[in-house]
Structure 1
Amino acid sequence: MSEMLRHLVLVLLTYLSFLRLVHGHCCCDQDDTEQIIGPPGRPGKAGIKGSQGNAGEPGRDGRIGINGSKGEKGESGMCDCSELATSQKLMMFDLLTHRDWKWISYGSNIYGYQLFKEAKTYQQARAACEAVQATLACVGMRIPHVREQVKAVVRNSSGSTSIWIGLDDLERMNHYVWLDGVVSNRENTDWLPNQPDTAPERCVELVNYHNQNERLNDNICSKTFHYLCEKFY
């Protein structure tokens, strides 16, 4: 072979090697669909044990099965954003994070109570409860067996002897309405004897005197007391 021919062959081989290097990983044309092969699946079960051999010859185990194929991809999960699911998540968040609240079950709901030991007017206390997605205590002051548990929360807490709850007659004189819209009456409002009385006293406090057994009294709304918040699910 002449020197020139040898040189041409060498150039051709070099060019072919270059093409393989550039296009070696491309296994399909533009119109084809490239297949992606995943990793092998778990090994299959062992093969069936061989039958017993002739007398004097031990039997042999069967061959191990081939590896199993790759499993199918699971379906994507779905996020439950329903109102009930959201409420349950919020409830669990409060139960886990607001451990200083006293949680009481009543009916199908769970009520949380927290006594805040900050001196505020009635309107300030109301706004402070709303800021933590709660209200001044209503249900807990109205339903007898819940009320006794809530009173225990107050009784075991030191501080003010006067505590704002969610009851007033600010919309109409002598027409007391709980902040959740329930109208006050003698059955659902645990008043002190001879209460409510005077006109300037439009907002209601829980009187935390030991000799008064934590009952309700109307007082002047601009006075500053501790306050009891309530939230429920």
Structure 2
Amino acid sequence: MSEMLRYMVIMVLIYESFLHLVHGHCCCDHDEKEQIIGPPGRPGKAGIRGSQGNAGEPGRGGRNGMVGGKGVKGEPGVCDCSESTTSQKRMAYDLSMNRDWTWIFHGSNIYGYKLFKEEKTYQQAMAACEAVRATLACVGMRVPALRERVKAEVVRPSGSTRMWIGLDDLERMNHYVWLDGVVSNRENTDWYRNEPSSATERCVELWNYHEHISYTLNDSACIKTFHYLCEKIY
């Protein structure tokens, strides 16, 4: 073999070896339709994050539960008649205006009473009671059993003989109405005999006529000045 031919054979062998290293097989082993697949590429960059979706509608509320059964009746309370408890029940304090107003009240009801020894007209007395969150006495003068206790425990010990209470006929002549809205009648109004007696006397006082110990009601001119009896709900 000539030197030229030997050289050409060596070059062909080197070229085939090169093709085998690049393609993994001989370039003539695949047909025309087969594609040569190279190694996988690098991963692509992450895509742009989408916007957040809208919140869903709130769910419907559940159905109401069954109505509970009737509770067990409680035991009767125990009355505490100790000296300290009784004292607390009979006195309360209103510290408005830097003064200690003492109100006498009863454990059998929710009303407290105070007689103020200040001379005032009916309207002034009404306003003074309202200033200490009270009203001129109504229930304490209308309910017979309570009325007698208020007289015995509040009115008589004070020594006052004339005081305003919460009754008048200012809205309509001879139609007396208590300040809490109850209409006056012979059953709930303890008038002195032959009272009310004057068309010019439109407001009512509790008075001790000539030291008559029962204290009864009398119509009087609203511009007169008397002491006044206040009633407060506790």
TM-score band, normalised by the shorter chain?
0.5 to 0.7
Superposition deviation, residue 184 in structure 1: 0.1
* Aligned counterparts of 2:132 and 2:185: Cα–Cα separation in 1: 28
Instruction: State how 1:1-233 maps to structure 2 within 5 Å.
Output: 95-98=91-94, 100-106=102-108, 109-152=109-152, 153-159=154-160, 161-209=161-209, 210-211=211-212, 213-233=214-234
* Aligned counterparts of 1:200 and 1:192: Cα–Cα separation in 2: 17
Q: Deviations over 1:46-85 (max 9, x none)?
A: xxxxxxxxxxxxxxxxxxxxxxxxxxxxxxxxxxxxxxxx
* Aligned counterparts of 1:164 and 1:215: Cα–Cα separation in 2: 12
SS in 1 for 2:116: strand
SS in 2 for 1:100: strand
Gaps of 5+ in 1: 1-91
Percent identical pairs in the alignment equals: 69
* Aligned counterparts of 1:219 and 1:97: Cα–Cα separation in 2: 31
Query: How many residues of Structure 1 are paired with residues of Structure 2 in the alignment?
Result: 139
* Aligned counterparts of 1:145 and 1:223: Cα–Cα separation in 2: 29
Q: 1:97 to 1:136 in 2, by over 3 A?
A: same
TM-score by length of 1: 0.56
Q: Deviations over 1:155-181 (max 9, x none)?
A: 11124x210000000000000000000
Question: Which consecutive segments of 4 or more residues in structure 1 shift more than 3 A?
Answer: none
Name the residue aligned to 2:35.
none
Name the residue aligned to 1:47.
none
The letter for the 1-side match of 2:219 is: D
1:104–1:146 Cα contact (<8 Å) kept: no
Superposition deviation, residue 97 in structure 1: 2.5
The letter for the 1-side match of 2:117 is: K
Q: 1:96 to 1:178 in 2, by over 3 A?
A: closer
* Aligned counterparts of 2:224 and 2:125: Cα–Cα separation in 1: 11
The letter for the 2-side match of 1:122 is: Y
Name the residue aligned to 1:61.
none
Q: Deviations over 1:78-100 (max 9, x none)?
A: xxxxxxxxxxxxxx9x9543462
2:162–2:207 Cα contact (<8 Å) kept: yes
Gaps of 5+ in 2: 1-87, 95-100
SS in 2 for 1:101: strand
* Aligned counterparts of 1:151 and 1:165: Cα–Cα separation in 2: 12
Q: Deviations over 1:114-165 (max 9, x none)?
A: 0000000000000000000000000000001100011111111124x21000
TM-score by length of 2: 0.56
Q: 1:103 to 1:219 in 2, by over 3 A?
A: same
1:206–1:214 Cα contact (<8 Å) kept: yes
Q: Tell me how large the CA RMSD over aligned residues is.
A: 2.0
